[in-house]
Structure 1
Amino acid sequence: MTTEPTRAIARAARGGAAAPADRARHSWARQAVLALAALTAAAAAAAAALAWTGTASAQTATITVAANGSDANPGTVAAPLKTIQAAVDKATPGTVIQIRGGTYAPGTNVQVNSNGTASAPITMRPYGTEKVIIDGENMPYTPGAVGSSIPRADRGALHIEGDHWRFERLEIIHGPYGIFALDSNNNVYDRLITRDNYESGLHIQGASANNRIVNLDAYGNRDPRKNGESADGLAIKEGSGTGNTVIGARLWNNADDGFDAWEFLSPIRIEDSVAYGNGYNHWNLPNYSGDGNGFKLGGGDPDPAANHVVVNSTAWRNSAHGFTDNGNPGSLQVSRSTAWKNGKTGFDFDASASKLTANLAVNNAAPVALGSSTGTGNSWDIKSKWVDADLANTSTSVITGARAADGSIPPTNFLVPRSYPNLGATFA
């Protein structure tokens, strides 16, 4: 039996006209196809709109700041914000704040109080390879009067009380502290310059844990209000919190110490870092009170015990000690580090029960003060007197020069012993 569809197909094959029923079915099928096509197009348009919205959302996670911008702008590259504070106030987890090159000199400090997350930190950095300077000279307490105290909220050209932030490749100058971070955790300070501030260059205080300071240059920081007594290159002090790490820091020509851990109760790890020329009065401050240690690893009233660790670091030509426990009664570890031509003792650990391993002391006022500390394989264990002729290179030009492309301290054989290459620090 031949069905109606079969006959319709046969007629179509012969070029005949379709029957009315065939035409109705054909019209219905065509309408269905057109409806499906329209639905598909609508779905594609919706998907495209969704994709565009997603792209727009991703774009809004980047906020741009420029000196010629306006805080009424949306913060795009084409229409940037004007102030860093406005960008900080808009930031949410995952935001990247990119700052166009130039000098930013606000009248009050930048307050960072919001939090990123472990998976979505907030980042503040220059736009591309441009150079950004945050100048605190217009802020209060730059400098403060002699004997005055800086209110906590006014401390730091960047004042940080937020967690999960990344600060990258910024230069902070002339602030009431360069960066002051209080009760802040899980932050990264990467390739920063903090110089010529009216207190410490980078100061972390309070309940602060898991912060990483990487490839910091901190120099020329001084405190006229305290006659040089407390302006360090880098200070992690007066607080507690585990997991704080310093890598690749250069700390020099600061009024007080290169690094200061005064009254910090938890272990800090320092590696591949240098401190030099600290404690000298370059500013003709009256009644000068700078201590002048390269790495001050304790102190307080009373002295708390904290088991800090120093690895592969160098201190030279500081006015006082190269490395010192500064009264810390803990069990510190110092290894593969070098003290050269410091004004007092190279390794001063006579208040602690520390362990010193494979360290090198050359031409300091005294090589070591151990007290109840112990050590093995150090230069003073090998022979009693070391001189510059024992060293392959005493030129500071490379180690104090331009950093490597990745921000690290440039490779050099500075102060490496000729006959004992595994003794002391090496940056080769």
Structure 2
Amino acid sequence: MDLAQPGDVIAVRGGTYALTDNITITTSGTSARPITLGAYQGERVVVDGERLPASHTPVGGSIARAERGAIHMEASYWRILGLELVNDPYGVYCDSCDHNVFSGLSTHDNYESGFQLQGSSSGNQILNLDSYGNRDLRKNGESADGLAIKEGSGTGNVVRGARLWNNVDDGFDAWKFTSPILIENTVAYGNGHNRWNFPDFAGDGNGFKMGGGSPAPAVGHTLHNSIAFRNAAHGVTDNGNPGALALTRNSTWANAGTGFDADVTAGTAILTANLSVADARAAAIGSGTVADENSWNPCGTWDASSVLSTDPGAITGPRSADGALPPAPNFLVPRSGAAVGARF
């Protein structure tokens, strides 16, 4: 990547590439001439980091910053498309990155988060990401998320069309990110279960963790038309974020904790037209939170009989040819026709 210049296109032929050093990107493109890295004509390109020393960091160890990520980026105006990243110390690790497009990536079975964006990073688009089975042996599951945008700042970051599942910690994590993020048309499920038999398991297990920190910064992240189900903890949680979260037309189902956890006493979240089905608890609402036209307003019990289908097979199936999520016109759609919850 050292030779790449603005406007270049790097097309990688199909195959499995076993890394002995990570791919470090520090040269930026420009707004008019971004640099493109992607699979050649849709061929399957697998980047395998099993041989990277940082993939096998022991319990209690730390990963040096420069070794984080099969793709380690500190650059802007790139388009990274259609790659599969496995067995890496993070799949993609992007620190201080602006105006990049990441589309159609699959980041799975990595030894830290599948995708992490942090630092001063603005205007990035993460589109149609599948991130699953990521785990961190060194922290007994405390850290590896499907997608983490955390410990940083920067406006205009967008997540759209992602599926984040069976990760050891959370599906999506916005811990200590101090600027608003937009997440929409995204699904998070099965996170936080100890599938690896860690002896001192520390995974959190939220579908969408919408902030956090000590103290948590007040940030108005937006979650729209998204679904969280069968997570080990909450479907959606403010995680202590007292900011003006906007949670609109989302659905939660069969989460072991609360469907919508927005219980910061001084929080200013707004929850509108959301649906909770058969969660351990539908919602926890703080005194400063506004919640209108949701399935639990003013009261009500929603179970499997209340919706057309609780079969996730459609939404978890193969993506469309253009990379979009597969249609799931009945999944968690109210039988009554009530205008609550997500639609796919």
Q: TM-score scaled by structure 2?
A: 0.98
Instruction: From 45, 50, 54, give the equivalent of 1:137.
Output: 50
* In structure 2, C-alpha distance between the alignment counterparts of 1:422 and 1:125, rounded to whole Å: 40
Does the 8 Å contact 1:143/1:223 carry over to 2? no
Q: In the alignment, is residue 395 of structure 1 matched against residue 311 of structure 2?
A: yes
1:239-258 to structure 2, matched below 5 A, reads: 239-258=152-171
**Structure 1 residue runs of 4+, over 6 Å off?**
none
1:373 alignment counterpart? 289
Q: In the alignment, is residue 426 of structure 1 matched against residue 343 of structure 2?
A: yes
The alpha carbon displacement at 1:420 in A equals 2.7
1:1-400 to structure 2, matched below 5 A, reads: 88-351=1-264, 352-371=267-286, 372-381=288-297, 383-400=299-316
Give 2:297's aligned amino acid.
Answer: D
* In structure 2, C-alpha distance between the alignment counterparts of 1:131 and 1:364, rounded to whole Å: 38
Give 2:78's aligned amino acid.
Answer: W
The alpha carbon displacement at 1:143 in A equals 2.1
Question: Which has the larger helix fraction?
Answer: 1
Does the 8 Å contact 2:42/2:82 carry over to 1? no
**Structure 2 portions without partners, runs of 5+:** none
For residues 333-368 of structure 1, give each alpha carbon's deviation from its aligned partner in whole angstroms, at most 9, with x where no partner exists: 000000100010000001121000000001111000
Larger radius of gyration: 1
SS of residue paired to 1:398:
coil
**Structure 1 portions without partners, runs of 5+:** 1-87
For residues 95-142 of structure 1, give each alpha carbon's deviation from its aligned partner in whole angstroms, at most 9, with x where no partner exists: 000000001112110000000000110000111121100001111221
SS of residue paired to 1:235:
strand
* In structure 2, C-alpha distance between the alignment counterparts of 1:102 and 1:346, rounded to whole Å: 41
> Bigger relative contact order, structure 1 or 2, given CA contacts below 8 A and separation 6+?
2
Give 2:336's aligned amino acid.
Answer: S
Percent identity of the aligned residues? 55
* In structure 2, C-alpha distance between the alignment counterparts of 1:103 and 1:166, rounded to whole Å: 21
How many residues are paired up?
340
Does the 8 Å contact 2:127/2:161 carry over to 1? yes
1:38 alignment counterpart? none
Give 2:304's aligned amino acid.
Answer: D
Give 1:299's aligned amino acid.
Answer: G
For residues 231-256 of structure 1, give each alpha carbon's deviation from its aligned partner in whole angstroms, at most 9, with x where no partner exists: 00000000000000000000000000
The alpha carbon displacement at 1:422 in A equals 2.1
The alpha carbon displacement at 1:286 in A equals 1.5
* In structure 2, C-alpha distance between the alignment counterparts of 1:383 and 1:335, rounded to whole Å: 18
Does the 8 Å contact 2:145/2:167 carry over to 1? yes
* In structure 2, C-alpha distance between the alignment counterparts of 1:421 and 1:249, rounded to whole Å: 25
2:333 alignment counterpart? 416
RMSD (Å), alpha carbons: 0.8
The alpha carbon displacement at 1:378 in A equals 0.4
Does the 8 Å contact 1:334/1:357 carry over to 2? yes
Question: Which has the larger strand fraction?
Answer: 2
The alpha carbon displacement at 1:327 in A equals 0.3
SS of residue paired to 2:228:
strand
* In structure 1, C-alpha distance between the alignment counterparts of 2:107 and 2:335, rounded to whole Å: 35
* In structure 2, C-alpha distance between the alignment counterparts of 1:216 and 1:152, rounded to whole Å: 23
The alpha carbon displacement at 1:383 in A equals 3.7
* In structure 2, C-alpha distance between the alignment counterparts of 1:163 and 1:382, rounded to whole Å: 47
Q: TM-score scaled by structure 1?
A: 0.79
SS of residue paired to 2:99:
coil
The alpha carbon displacement at 1:146 in A equals 0.3
The alpha carbon displacement at 1:421 in A equals 4.5
SS of residue paired to 2:2:
helix
SS of residue paired to 1:225:
helix
SS of residue paired to 2:297:
helix
